[in-house]
Amino acid sequence: MHPIKHLYSRAGFGLSVKEWKEKESFSRSKAINELFDHAERAAKQPIELNFSAPSAAMGMDAKKNKNKRRKALVAQQNIQWINRMADVHESALLEKMMLFWLGHFACQPQAEYALHYTNILRTHALGNFREFVHAIARSPAMIKYLNNQQNRKKSPNENFARELMELFTIGRGHYTEQDIKEAARAFTGWTVEKNQPEFRFSKFHHDYSSKKFMGKSGDLNGEDVIDIILKKPAVSEFIVTKIYRFFVNDRVDKKIITSLSNQFFESDYDIRSLMYTIFTSDWFYDKKNVANQIKSPVYLLANLLRTVDVKFKDPYVLIKIQQALGQMIFVPPNVAGWQGGKAWIDNTTLLFRLNLSSFVFRAAQKGFLDRKNLNITNQQTLRQLDVVISVKEIESVLKKKSNEEIFDALQSLLLNTDSSYTSADFNTLLIKKNTTDFIKTTIMALTALPEFQVC
The reply to whether 243 falls in a domain is no
- Choose the weakest-confidence range: 12-16, 312-316, 412-416: 312-316
* Range(s) of the domain holding residue 401: 297-453
- Is the pLDDT at 60 greater than 80? The verdict is no
Interval 246-260: pLDDT, tens: 999 999 999 999 999
C-beta pairs of 131-134 under 8 Å, 24+ apart in sequence: 132/101, 132/271, 133/164, 133/168, 133/169, 133/226, 133/230, 134/223, 134/226
Residue 97 confidence (pLDDT): 98
Last residue of a domain, one of 215, 231, 247: 231
| Helix (DSSP H) and strand (DSSP E) numbers for the chain | 23, 6
Q: H/E element holding 212?
A: strand 211-213
Q: Please indicate, yes or no, whether residues 215 and 363 belong to a single structural domain of this protein.
A: no
Residue 348 confidence (pLDDT): 81
- Is the pLDDT at 147 greater than 70? The verdict is yes
Q: Please indicate, yes or no, whether residues 307 and 159 belong to a single structural domain of this protein.
A: no
> d(Cα 79, Cα 402) in Å, to the nearest integer?
37
> d(Cα 7, Cα 30) in Å, to the nearest integer?
12
Q: Please indicate, yes or no, whether residues 311 and 422 belong to a single structural domain of this protein.
A: yes
Residue 195 confidence (pLDDT): 81
Residue 367 confidence (pLDDT): 36
Q: Please indicate, yes or no, whether residues 431 and 321 belong to a single structural domain of this protein.
A: yes
φ/ψ of residue 112, rounded to 5: -65, -15
Q: What is the pLDDT confidence band of residue 417, given thresholds at 50, 70 and 90?
A: confident
The reply to whether 17 falls in a domain is no
> d(Cα 188, Cα 204) in Å, to the nearest integer?
9
Mean pLDDT over 123-141 rounds to 98
Last residue of a domain, one of 231, 265, 284: 231
Residue 358 confidence (pLDDT): 83
Q: Please indicate, yes or no, whether residues 353 and 207 belong to a single structural domain of this protein.
A: no
Mean pLDDT over 275-296 rounds to 97
368 in Cβ contact with 374 (< 8 Å): yes
Q: What percent of the chain has pLDDT over 90?
A: 79
The reply to whether 289 falls in a domain is no
Q: Please indicate, yes or no, whether residues 321 and 446 belong to a single structural domain of this protein.
A: yes
The reply to whether 364 falls in a domain is yes
User: What are the distances in angstroms from CA 320 to CA 35, 73, 324, 369?
Assistant: 31, 16, 6, 10
The reply to whether 429 falls in a domain is yes
Q: Please indicate, yes or no, whether residues 308 and 447 belong to a single structural domain of this protein.
A: yes
Instruction: Quote the number of domains for the chain.
Output: 2
Q: Is 214 left (phi over 0), alpha (psi -120 to 50) or beta?
A: left
Interval 69-121: pLDDT, tens: 888 999 999 999 999 999 999 999 999 999 999 999 999 999 889 999 999 99
- Which residues have CB under 8 Å from 322's CB, separation 6+? 78, 82, 297, 298, 301, 328, 329
Q: Please indicate, yes or no, whether residues 217 and 350 belong to a single structural domain of this protein.
A: no
The reply to whether 346 falls in a domain is yes
Interval 338-390: pLDDT, tens: 999 999 998 888 888 998 888 788 763 333 334 443 333 334 444 556 788 88
Residue 365 confidence (pLDDT): 37
Q: Please indicate, yes or no, whether residues 343 and 427 belong to a single structural domain of this protein.
A: yes
Q: Please indicate, yes or no, whether residues 224 and 312 belong to a single structural domain of this protein.
A: no
Q: Please indicate, yes or no, whether residues 301 and 423 belong to a single structural domain of this protein.
A: yes
Last residue of a domain, one of 231, 249, 267: 231
Name 216's bridge partners.
213
Reduced 3-state DSSP string for the chain: CCHHHHHHHHCCCCCCHHHHHHHCCCCHHHHHHHHHHHHHHHHCCCCCCCCCCCHHHCHHHHHHCHHHHHHHHHHHHHHHHHHHHHCCCCCHHHHHHHHHHHHHCCCCCCCCHHHHHHHHHHHHCCCEHHHHHHHHHCCHHHHHHCCHHHCECCECCCHHHHHHHHHHHCCCCCCCHHHHHHHHHHCCCEEECCCCCCEEECCCCCCCCCEEECCEEECCCHHHHHHHHCCCHHHHHHHHHHHHHHHCCCCCCHHHHHHHHHHHHHCCCEHHHHHHHHHHCHHHHCHHHCCCCECCHHHHHHHHHHHCEEEECCCCHHHHHHHHHCCCCCCCCCCCCCCCHHHHCCCCCHHHHHCHHHHHHHCCCCCCCCCHHHCCCHHHHHHHCCEEEECHHHHHHCCCCCHHHHHHHHHHHHCCCCCCCCHHHHCCCCCCCCHHHHHHHHHHHHHCCHHHHEC
> d(Cα 285, Cα 262) in Å, to the nearest integer?
22
The reply to whether 265 falls in a domain is no
> d(Cα 89, Cα 180) in Å, to the nearest integer?
44
The reply to whether 202 falls in a domain is yes
> d(Cα 395, Cα 436) in Å, to the nearest integer?
7
> d(Cα 8, Cα 249) in Å, to the nearest integer?
15
270 in Cβ contact with 126 (< 8 Å): no
Residue 361 confidence (pLDDT): 81
Interval 17-51: pLDDT, tens: 999 999 999 999 999 999 999 999 999 999 998 87
Q: Please indicate, yes or no, whether residues 316 and 442 belong to a single structural domain of this protein.
A: yes
